[in-house]
Structure 1
């Protein structure tokens, strides 16, 4: 008759033992905050970190968006524009709490096309600098501008991916070894995209506020997205009964991974136009369009043994290319380095998981026809994919 009370007592004991270390840890932290560490050292210099997130140009002057990512609150005491002290107003206040944001309104007669330098000086005489490389009024998020950016994203993403998919009827004529070579070519394309996505993410992460660990977010996003997609694959293995469905799913995943990469390309184009570098933006449009046409080949490769419908191809083109439209919107209107770094990491992880799946397909098909997985033809195809992406990427970088 005493079994149930004993079990209840044991459950309460287990809960207490589970939370006891947390209670003790909270007590230690409270003691450190309340009474200090016992080491009395005078701080050599104030620790202040002010991140200039965005500089908007209006008819009245500059609007500077700032973030206090330092350990303590800070006060912006003076503003210097192009070497001269300048008046400014603050919203909500020049005193910014930790992780707080503020907008600095500077009435300044900027000159279109000129370089302008803005210095924010804190109460402790620390200086934080922001630059406007080529002054141009910041685009307003109206219907006309949204449509213009949408058209740019369509040119860069949907059209080249769709053109690449048009090679599907030609590739259907290939033998089993030829289809393997196309899959290996896809691995080369995706491998380059994965490396490129990681590199771009790390560059953006380095520009993000240090407290958010932008470069770490790239790796966290990559690893977690890879494992998440792997878990989804393994959970669906028992449910999937047809190989054809698996191959179609692989094409969708390739399109999704490439779509995340194209989102980053849209970010670069939108940011270029928003900062007044229209010539650079136009150059990026041409370069990315030529660069992305090969992506359609990679998306179509897993479907060579199936009979996809026109609707499937249309969906794949939109999934792989349309994110460039979203990226152009974000880059042109509300660019954020921290979130961009995370998106790049997620995209790289998705691409890496697709590479893993395609490699398994190549090994499965090679075993079925009694051929080596890493034949000279497959090796040459992987190399060709990497080289082709590298050469077309030069059109963007130079």
Structure 2
């Protein structure tokens, strides 16, 4: 098996690995959730600004970068407008997920598509270590995402093991997107900088629109801020390690 494809599979599997704790727990404190989301946000910001954007600029120019970043953000914005968005309901002590439709799962699955495309495009670019760095960064932020999907389903009285399978399914969609991006860019290498910038824009949109607002306003802003910085530095450290 192609080592790049193996990396893409492992990246997608992290969604299911992140969901594994739901087999043991049912609820999580809001403080813990804020810390997880803030750490994830830090990883995504570092991956975008320290990995994807510089790599895109090395391959092209500022105009292409701007087009790609704005396209990624606009796509996520359109998805949120046309797909019913399910927000997490919570009180001071616990995160209480609503008993609503499976649209949250669909939305999170669709969020995985540009992430998968970015992984595939990164490997296809043949830029040294870029594919591994992007796959690792997205894999790290997939874990809490898989946990949220599975926890949401369990609070809808879905069987724990079935919830885990559905979380794995969202990761499988990401792998399909990765493979498509890998093959597409191999056929048209000029798409690589657009794909990298697109992924950066999509990730930054999620961070600023979803993750950061969710971690503030509930009394845990300070611990969330330090969790964000820890995630940021962790990702920068990984990038430097691969260089």
Q: TM-score, normalised by structure 2?
A: 0.72
CA contact (8 A) 1:198 1:345 kept: yes
* 2:195 equivalent in structure 1: 343
* 2:159 equivalent in structure 1: none
Alpha-carbon distance change, 199 to 238 in structure 1, aligned in 2, over 3 angstroms? closer
Shift of 1:228: 3.4
Q: Determine which of 177, 186, 205 is the counterpart of 2:60.
A: 205
Shift of 1:187: 0.9
* 1:118 equivalent in structure 2: none
Alpha-carbon distance change, 249 to 164 in structure 1, aligned in 2, over 3 angstroms? closer
Q: Deviations over 1:258-301 (max 9, x none)?
A: 21321232213xx37xxxxxxx6xx7777666555423324325
Comparing 283-292 with 184-193, greater Cα deviation is found at 283-292
Higher Cα Rg, which structure: 1
- Higher fraction of helix: 2
* Aligned-partner SS, 1:294: helix
1:174 aligns with 2:174: no
Q: Distance in 2 between matches of 1:164 and 1:186?
A: 13
* 2:77 equivalent in structure 1: 230
- Higher fraction of strand: 1
Shift of 1:219: 0.8
Q: Distance in 1 between matches of 2:79 and 2:132?
A: 36
CA contact (8 A) 2:55 2:196 kept: yes
Q: Which residues of 2 match residues 74-85 of structure 1 at below 5 A?
A: none
CA contact (8 A) 1:253 1:354 kept: no
Q: Which 5+ residue runs of structure 2 have no aligned equivalent?
A: 88-97, 155-162
Q: Distance in 2 between matches of 1:183 and 1:239?
A: 16
* 1:294 equivalent in structure 2: 140
Aligned length: 220
Q: Which 5+ residue runs of structure 1 have no aligned equivalent?
A: 1-147, 207-214, 273-279
CA contact (8 A) 1:248 1:302 kept: no
Alpha-carbon distance change, 238 to 170 in structure 1, aligned in 2, over 3 angstroms? closer
Alpha-carbon distance change, 168 to 311 in structure 1, aligned in 2, over 3 angstroms? closer
Q: Determine which of 197, 211, 214 is the counterpart of 1:358.
A: 211
* 1:156 equivalent in structure 2: 7
Alpha-carbon distance change, 218 to 182 in structure 1, aligned in 2, over 3 angstroms? same
Alpha-carbon distance change, 321 to 237 in structure 1, aligned in 2, over 3 angstroms? closer
1:394 aligns with 2:226: no
Alpha-carbon distance change, 154 to 353 in structure 1, aligned in 2, over 3 angstroms? same
Shift of 1:238: 8.4
Q: Distance in 1 between matches of 2:124 and 2:41?
A: 25
Q: Deviations over 1:104-133 (max 9, x none)?
A: xxxxxxxxxxxxxxxxxxxxxxxxxxxxxx
* 1:377 equivalent in structure 2: 223
CA contact (8 A) 1:152 1:328 kept: no
Alpha-carbon distance change, 298 to 153 in structure 1, aligned in 2, over 3 angstroms? farther
Q: TM-score, normalised by structure 1?
A: 0.47
